[in-house]
Chains A and B, each alone.
Chain A
Amino acid sequence: AQTVTQSQPEMSVQEAETVTLSCTYDTSESNYYLFWYKQPPSRQMILVIRQEAYKQQNATENRFSVNFQKAAKSFSLKISDSQLGDTAMYFCAFYNQGGKLIFGQGTELSVKP
């Protein structure tokens, strides 16, 4: 069975600095997708970034990028130039052809002014 682990329950970062959130997963599949979602306080969960396992190139979306290490089964999220609006709960998630997302426990990120 697939599992996803986020080992950092809480993190904080100063505005304008860079922070990296960790995520590891376990699977025997070779074809799958990985996602980072964020849920700001009292707001909707939104997709931050996605990575296809067959792509070696790390995905980037503006200030958000991932470090995907397939052999190590690691999928960390780097947020550059952190902004106050980045304060949120961040969830790492795994998807395979079974259809459902498997989530990690979440990392609560606080960006401090």
Chain B
Amino acid sequence: EAGVTQFPSHSVIEKGQTVTLRCDPISGHDNLYWYRRVMGKEIKFLLHFVKESKQDESGMPNNRFLAERTGGTYSTLKVQPAELEDSGVYFCASSQGLAGNQETQYFGPGTRLLVL
């Protein structure tokens, strides 16, 4: 069974540009999460999808961040325009739905974003 995948693995962009990160969860997982780790700090929650619906987006820093999950499958996280403080590692995770083990989240390898 394929794990959570993320694309790209690395992205270097200039301040003011746009970047779109993609996450493909484990097949059949209803829950999809985005987290971010800024250099040297703890991993922080950004938002949570249940299928195609946003369940909780309380961790989104500001309106420069837009997340979507088309058809309840893969998800994208767009940062527009990017700022220096957006640099960090963006993790995606997925877990089963209500009928399964929804507590255990499986993580992707992360996308390392550097904004210059």
Residues in chain A within 8 A of chain B (CB atoms): 4, 33, 35, 37, 43-47, 50, 91, 95, 98-106
Q: How many residue pairs bridge A and B at CB < 8 Å?
A: 52
Residues in chain B within 8 A of chain A (CB atoms): 3, 31, 33, 35, 41-45, 48, 55-56, 59, 91, 93, 102-110
Which residues of chain A have C-beta atoms less than 8 A from B31's C-beta? 99
A100-B56, A101-B35 known; A106 and B42 CB under 8 Å? yes
Among B33, B35, B103, chain A packs the most CB atoms within 10 A around the CB of B103
A44-B107, A45-B107 known; A103 and B42 CB under 8 Å? yes
**Contact across chains for B45 and A102 when beta carbons are under 8 A apart:** yes
What's the Cα separation between A98 and B106 when bound, in Å? 17
**Contact across chains for B107 and A105 when beta carbons are under 8 A apart:** no
What's the Cα separation between A100 and B48 when bound, in Å? 7
What's the Cα separation between A97 and B7 when bound, in Å? 29
**Contact across chains for A105 and B41 when beta carbons are under 8 A apart:** yes
Which residues of chain A have C-beta atoms less than 8 A from B3's C-beta? 44
Which residues of chain B have C-beta atoms less than 8 A from A99's C-beta? 31, 33, 48, 55-56, 102
A43-B109, A44-B109, A45-B110 known; A100 and B104 CB under 8 Å? no
